A and B are shown apart, each in its own frame.
Chain A
Amino acid sequence: MTIDFQDDANNPNEAVTLVTRFAQADAVAMFGAHSSPVALAQAEAVEAAGLPEFVFGASNAIDNPYQYQVNARDSEQIKNVLTFAEANDFHTVAFLTDTGAYGTAALEQLNTVIGESDLEIVGSETFEPTASNLTPQLVALQRQNPDFIAMFTFGTPYAAVVQGTAETGWDVPIIGNVAAGDIAVGEIAGEDADGLYYMSPFGSETDAAKELIDAWEAEYPDDELTFEGAIAYDSMSVLLRAITEGGPTREEVQAWLQDAVEVEGLASGTTAWDVASRAPIRAEDLTFRLWQAGETVEVDLG
């Protein structure tokens, strides 16, 4: 077996070209689409090639029979925003989302899912995906006095928002998506990140998770395990089962994946993966984590 690693630079056009490369080389499946815009751009190409793809993008807009989302979809993460509010007896929320393709789609899901709940939406602000200063947005939201902020974006804006709350002295809980666990947040914001919550599909409770953590530390003492690494490990495990049990062709792999409604023994999540749903990580598979002194800890909301 050979894995052909290629850098798509998170560029949709480049990523589509690489789908063609893999398809022409007779790849049986592929891993990729680290972000939602890339996955959406690749959808037509992977379907045309009949090439199953494991994607990390979380957008609910991703809906292709050949794309398997192995990160929790936005709608599942947003269900946990409601869980977070309920656990803390919060009644009002404000949104912070980026103006890119990801943030725009996430805002739509936030308005849909939370709009149907008892939680009152009292404010919503947007920012450029590369924003490094969110103080103006925070000042605007503070006037609405929300109990907490739900923020959906990825990258350094998470560092910017906690730096902004520290600067303005506004002590407001913020819950972000899985990307709020970005190591860069701690590197940039340090202790300013204290109080920032986020969700992760990889916890430490299951036996499979503990085994992976121990094995990883023994094999790669200089490389920290990220949740993406854990998900990648699980995804490859699923693919290997598809190849060994289904067969070594694209058609056989796709057929196996479409029938795999309960894959046990994976490290990510707390339940068996319903791979056939093409979105196996559900709200209940996510754990809550909290930044504390530049590090993160798992929290039980009770």
Chain B
Amino acid sequence: MSRNTRRITRILGMTGAVVLALGATTACSLSSGSEPASTTSSQEPSGDVLIGALFPSPAPYRGQAGSIGRASS
């Protein structure tokens, strides 16, 4: 995961879970190709395929996934 994504997560707290999830999926799912995916929070994005992502700050709510391990809280 890129440093930018980690930085965003620290800033946003739990809302960052959405940011991480979006970034993690692209990183994992496209890494089977010739080039690994990248994520960025730059103001001027670049890349062959661009995806827009909004997050609300502060989050209107922070839902618990719950289940096992750390995901239980």
Given that A213-B71, A216-B71, A224-B71 are contacting pairs, would A27 and B64 also be in contact in the complex, using a CB cutoff of 8 Å? no
Q: For chain A, which range describes its interface: under 10, 10 to 19, 20 to 34, or 35 or more residues?
A: 35 or more
A226 contacts B51, CB within 8 Å? no
- In angstroms, how far is the closest chain B Cβ from the Cβ of A149? 19
* A5 adjacent to B19 (CB under 8 Å): yes
Our pick among B26, B45, B67 for the contact of A240 (Cβ within 8 Å) is: B26
Report the interface size class on chain B: 35 or more
CB-contact partner of B8 in A1, A5, A33, under 8 A: A5
Rounded to whole Å, the gap between the CB of A128 and the closest CB of chain B is 14
B34-49 Cβ-contact flags toward A at 8 Å (1 or 0): 0001111110011111
B18 with A228: CB separation less than 8 A? yes
Q: Evaluate contact between A227 and B65: CB separation under 8 angstroms.
A: yes
Contact A182 B53 (CB under 8 A): no
Closest 10 CB pairs of A and B: A32-B54, A2-B47, A22-B52, A204-B67, A229-B17, A10-B56, A236-B25, A30-B52, A232-B21, A233-B21
> How far is it, in angstroms, between the C-alpha of A296 and the C-alpha of B47 when the chains are bound?
41
Contact B45 A4 (CB under 8 A): yes
Contact of A2 among B21, B29, B45, B63 (CB under 8 A): B45
A16 CB to nearest chain B CB (Å): 11
Beyond the given pairs A4-B45, A228-B21, 12 more chain A to chain B contacts, judged by CB atoms under 8 angstroms and listed by A's residue number, are A25-B52, A204-B71, A213-B69, A213-B71, A224-B65, A226-B18, A228-B18, A229-B17, A236-B25, A240-B29, A296-B72, A296-B73
